[in-house]
Amino acid sequence: MDLKVISEKELLSQFRADEPDKFYQFISAFEKYVAPIMRAKGYRRINESERTVAFLFGEVTFSRSRWTNGKRTRIPVDEKLGLKKHVRYAPELLFRISKLATFLPYRQVCKIIEMDYSIVISKDTVLKVVKLANKLLKAKERYRYLKDDNTVQKIKSNRIYVEGDGVMVKCNFGGDERKNMDLAHFVVHTGRKRVGPNRYELQNKKEIINSSHAKAKEELLDYLYNYFEITPDTVLISNSDNGKGYTCRIFIELKKALNIRRHEHFWDAYHLNEKIKSFFKPYPKDLQDVCFKAIQTHDKELLKTVFDTCEGLITDEEEMNQLLSFKQKLFRNFRYTKPATLRGLSDVNIGIMESQHRKITYRMKHHGMYWSEKGANTLAQMILLERKDELEELFFGRWKQEYEQYKSVVMSAGKLKTRSWQNPFTKTHGIAGHLMQRCEYKKASKNPYF
């Protein structure tokens, strides 16, 4: 001990050196507490075995008792700490790694873990944690099928907003084959609420993202069916860039499947304005201004006049082909450019997709990163959960215990055989068929949990 200023890093290492002793005291106290309980249940102590586990406070090697009743062997200390067989990392540390992986590249996660917790891990460990999250996501999806949907309090809203667009990421499909992959991204909400001077928050927001457009569409329909109360006054308001997979037809299918009477589709203003500005760049600015006026007033004749004027200025065949292509697309989708006020709708909250994309693009695009299809799909869903503060619930939520109970009831009842958790009915009967398939599946089971 001296009067020199001590390094905080050195002080932390000293404190951490004392933590294992406290941990050993906790293990010893718990062993004494649980021993009579285990004997009362018909178990006898076999022996002790060592185990090394990395916790948030460091890597610790400790011994714990093994108990058996002749049929089953249990290790109460492992159960108390939530440790699985042959897993070297504690659950809370795995969760912290997964949370960091939604912000940082895998190698950077390793550096942060070493700096904050003095635990050395490799990028392969981070990858294994992401794969674990993928298994949990699949298990939670199965749990959602098994649980009783009648307990869900459905959302009541006269307006349901649905927006869709794709997020392009670079993927590695084995070997040297690299190309772009589109992640289907849908956002559902019921409008916005002011929460600050210049800040708004979407109400009842739900984001769906999947590498499979068909699965994303199916999940979207399933969510709307199970979580929204559809009434004769319900209006479905959709918004997209009218690109492949996000045309009005996709949202019309939702309208029909959910039996919604009124549907209003909009060509996303941001994408439309960008296309108009890009097309009219070589032409006089007056033509662009008149085009915007025709869109705002929904004047088709004025728009025709604009393109007729452009045709008179063109002398090149290639330019003419570009004009005809853009003109055809604009007139084909002209009805979707009609402003909300002219449709009798006020305060329409659409055009939020680009801002919703950012959390995905900041993490998964650029920086020379390439993803597998499964990896891209998993990490994108993890990012959505983390932003809603639901990633921890994926790792530690009550759903895991309830899922085990549901599974045991289903297996003991023998009513349901092993099944694929995909929906082949959807593929053969369209998006509306998914609702019928789900209803029939639940009716067929006599499981009391359905």
Q: Where are the domains of the chain?
A: 8-88, 155-268+350-366, 273-339
Residue 107, pLDDT score: 94
Smallest CA-to-CA distance from 161 within 291, 7, 279, 266 is with 266
Residue 175, pLDDT score: 60
pLDDT along the chain (450 residues), means of 10: 73 78 92 95 94 91 94 94 92 96 94 92 95 94 77 88 93 73 94 87 94 93 93 95 92 94 95 94 92 95 94 88 93 94 91 92 86 92 95 93 79 49 43 53 42
Residue 301, pLDDT score: 94
Residue 150, pLDDT score: 64
For 4, residues 6+ apart whose C-beta sits below 8 A from its C-beta are none
DSSP letter string, 88-130: -B-HHHHHHHHHHHTTS-HHHHHHHHHHHH-----HHHHHHHH
As given in the structure block, the two tokens for residue 318 are 């290639």
Q: What are the strands of the beta sheet with 44-55, ordered from one edge?
A: 44-55, 58-68, 73-74
Residue 216, pLDDT score: 94
Question: What does the pLDDT look like over 198-244, one tens digit per residue?
Answer: 888 999 999 999 999 999 999 999 999 999 999 999 999 999 999 99
Q: Which fold has domain 155-268+350-366?
A: Nucleotidyltransferase; domain 5 (3.30.420)
Residue 444, pLDDT score: 45
Smallest CA-to-CA distance from 360 within 146, 227, 176, 169 is with 169
